[in-house]
Structure 1
Amino acid sequence: MVGIDVANGVVGAVLGIVFATLFQQPLQDAWFKVRRRSTRAVRRLRSRGEESGPSWTTFSLGPLHTPALIVEGDGESTIGAEAIHIQVVDEEVVLPPDMAGWRNEIEAESARLQAGNGTPIWNGQRYAVEALDVSRTALEEQPEVHLRLRPTDYYTFLAAQQLDRRLPDGATPRSRYLDPDAPLKAPAFLQCSFAVNIAVVTADDMLVVTRRSDRVRMSPGVWNSSVNEGLARHIDSSGRNAPDLYAVARRGMREEMSLETNEYSLALLAFVLDSERRHWSAHFSARLKTLTRDDLRARMSRGVADRWEHQTIDYVPFRPADVARYLLRADRVHRWAPLAPALFHLALVDAHGRASVERAEAQVVRRL
């Protein structure tokens, strides 16, 4: 038996040597091929999931897409008046020669309207945005906004709004002067609009939403922020002083809602750019201290300085899901002023926190 075991051991060893000699290398080669192919497959899957895109994207919510580019601010922290530095450059904005005639056309139209007993186009004094830069403080890393403005007027603004009108050589102001990959860069003559937009919330938690009058020249009939007020040189700059954005917001609250400074708290949430039309905005929220929806209605019934700017006012429960559903209503989703939806989102974040707001918005979008 011992001899048989020894013989079996010898035969097994010989067969093992033969098997290793004949099959070890092919098995190793096959194993390495399998590993290489699986690695390539994993890499291909990963590469299919990778994509690149611009770091600056405009505000959207489900099917609602806007040209609003939030340049600074996220709603969770406010921007104090001391963090805003505004410089006014003396030189007035001048249109390029091939666009100057467009301004002359608007001036001539206003003269014709006045001669025919129509309503002329009032050429208000405005500001153009030369540049807006954002930095951070050294220790707290709080935002500091540097805004550089130049004088302009409403006729120049209307001429510059014709971004897709053909120039003599066939180009357009948009194609010649704007780079879609650099949305924050534009000549001042194409940025003749800076306004404050305010989301007003009553003491009983109702968001005020307005519809622009059909009589206004820009964006008639669209749904908009509670208050929209443009910077006016003859009102907002005393002497040679630069305008104060918080003061402009308070003027808008008084002129459009008949509200005095002591009746609300005011917070600056963000700086936002309408990248399609080159309109700049400071987005504010205002919380009424004691006035409810009914109180505000009663106040406005007794007279509003700029009543003609609005034709309808809605009151929406100021809760994330309710506001999101309102923004996405079939009769609203394509009728918003470009900067209003971002304003209401930021106001919700300021009041309820980002996580709560985004969770509610996502649920509303899923249920559409």
Structure 2
Amino acid sequence: MGGIDVVNGVAGAVIGMLFAVLFQQPLQDTWFKVRRRWLTAVRSLRLREEHSPSWTTFSLGPLRTSALIVEGDGETPIPAEGVHIQVLDGETRLPAEITHWWGEIEAESARLRAEGRTPVWNGLRYAVESFDISRTPVDEQPEVRLRLRPTDYYTFLAAQQLDRRLPDGTTLRSRYLDPDQPLEAPAFLQCSLGVNIAVVTADDLLVVSQRSDRVRMAPGAWNSSVNEGMSRHIDSSGRNAPGLHAVARRGMREELSLEPHEYSLELLAFVLDVEKRHWSAHFYARLDELTREGLQARLSRGVADRWEHQTIEYVPFRAATVAKYLLHTDRIHRWAPLAPALFHLALVHVYGRATVERAEAQVIRRR
């Protein structure tokens, strides 16, 4: 028996040596590779967690936009008395090295006028100097403070050339805008302040407009029911600062021929298009009595700004239906940047966040 034990021991030692030679190094290599990949994955996750931006733009499944919801969640309207607007002295000025861009636009307008064509009108506008948010101490209602400077449409068009090369090879975007600080920008790059309104008829249909091919900004894009820019000439009364609700009511009248007594109007949010630096006050309007048929009849009798829209569609105002409409293949890449967020916020205002997000998630899964 002793001899057998010796033989077994020798055999075991030989097998162990063969195992070590044949398999130990590959096993060690595999272990080190697994361990290295795991550590790399952990480090990457930590980096993503550390560098994930707190400000992200609105998206709905595959629909990505440049609309940043700065204030407002849709559920709770922002009271008119919570919005404070101050107009500062001194017009917004372009940097000296791009003032000739303003001159180019003026020259283009003069050429069009000489040819008997429609010139680019240099309307009086406002630029956003700063946007500040706070809360009231007792009930934590939002307090929004907008500081504006006078500007004009040519300044706006010149500053919209954000990616045009400057003499040193930089651009306005690379020189003045920081993606990690989306609310920080000089006033001359923020010469667009207006309202976007989601209008719902008395028979629960959302009004969706398509911008005319004749407009200069986003021609042919599908957009909000009403889109109106703030005008320094029209919206300021004497020395008083303009009011956003008044601008919204003017837009309802000029684009849909609707008077204030025919609808309710609520301010839902302030939204910034971070790509083009357009500021918007997002509103929801509900028509009291006018149905689709009634609104169509009203529009057939004349609209002040009919030229701004080339098509109007009506969509059942339900979360799943609107989500499908937003994500439809012939529409998903043709939205004006601020419109999808507006429609989502309007749905949340009427049906609640949980209901709307559940319906949207189902639509996304079924695509």
The equivalent of 1:325 in structure 2 is: 324
The equivalent of 2:199 in structure 1 is: 200
Cα 1:120–1:298 change in 2 (3 A) is same
The equivalent of 1:300 in structure 2 is: 299
Per the alignment, in what secondary structure is the counterpart of residue 105 of structure 1? helix
- Structure 2: distance between partners of 1:322 and 1:100: 47
Per the alignment, in what secondary structure is the counterpart of residue 272 of structure 2? strand
Per the alignment, in what secondary structure is the counterpart of residue 265 of structure 1? strand
Amino acid of the structure 1 residue aligned with 2:352: G
Amino acid of the structure 2 residue aligned with 1:334: H
The equivalent of 1:178 in structure 2 is: 177
TM-score by length of 2: 0.88
- Structure 1: distance between partners of 2:237 and 2:45: 56
The equivalent of 1:155 in structure 2 is: 154
Task: Map 1:204-283 to 2 at 5 A.
Answer: 204-283=203-282
After superposition, the C-alpha distances for 1:287-320 in whole angstroms (9 at most, x for unaligned) are 0001001100000000000000000001000000
- Structure 2: distance between partners of 1:210 and 1:162: 26
Deviation of residue 47 (structure 1)?
Answer: 6.1
The equivalent of 1:93 in structure 2 is: 92
After superposition, the C-alpha distances for 1:171-220 in whole angstroms (9 at most, x for unaligned) are 10000011111000000000000010000000000000000000001110
Amino acid of the structure 2 residue aligned with 1:169: D
After superposition, the C-alpha distances for 1:33-66 in whole angstroms (9 at most, x for unaligned) are xxxxxxx99x968766553200000000011000
Amino acid of the structure 2 residue aligned with 1:81: A
- Structure 2: distance between partners of 1:49 and 1:130: 38
- Structure 2: distance between partners of 1:293 and 1:281: 26
The equivalent of 1:135 in structure 2 is: 134
The equivalent of 1:167 in structure 2 is: 166
Per the alignment, in what secondary structure is the counterpart of residue 117 of structure 1? coil
2:366 is the counterpart of 1:367: yes
Amino acid of the structure 1 residue aligned with 2:360: E
The equivalent of 1:15 in structure 2 is: none
Amino acid of the structure 1 residue aligned with 2:117: G
Amino acid of the structure 2 residue aligned with 1:115: A
Amino acid of the structure 2 residue aligned with 1:175: S
Amino acid of the structure 2 residue aligned with 1:135: S
Gaps of 5+ in 2: 1-34
| Larger Cα-atom Rg | 1
Amino acid of the structure 2 residue aligned with 1:133: D
Amino acid of the structure 2 residue aligned with 1:322: T
Deviation of residue 118 (structure 1)?
Answer: 1.1
Work out the number of aligned pairs and report it: 328
- Structure 2: distance between partners of 1:99 and 1:61: 37
Deviation of residue 80 (structure 1)?
Answer: 0.9
2:311 is the counterpart of 1:312: yes
The equivalent of 2:353 in structure 1 is: 354
Amino acid of the structure 1 residue aligned with 2:326: L
Amino acid of the structure 1 residue aligned with 2:173: R
Per the alignment, in what secondary structure is the counterpart of residue 357 of structure 1? helix
Per the alignment, in what secondary structure is the counterpart of residue 235 of structure 1? coil
Among all aligned residue pairs of Structure 1 and Structure 2, give the percentage whose two residues are the same amino acid. Answer: 74
Amino acid of the structure 2 residue aligned with 1:136: R
The equivalent of 1:62 in structure 2 is: 61
- Structure 2: distance between partners of 1:48 and 1:221: 42
Amino acid of the structure 2 residue aligned with 1:73: G
- Structure 1: distance between partners of 2:256 and 2:366: 35
Per the alignment, in what secondary structure is the counterpart of residue 234 of structure 2? helix
Pairwise CA RMSD: 1.3
The equivalent of 1:26 in structure 2 is: none
Amino acid of the structure 2 residue aligned with 1:58: T
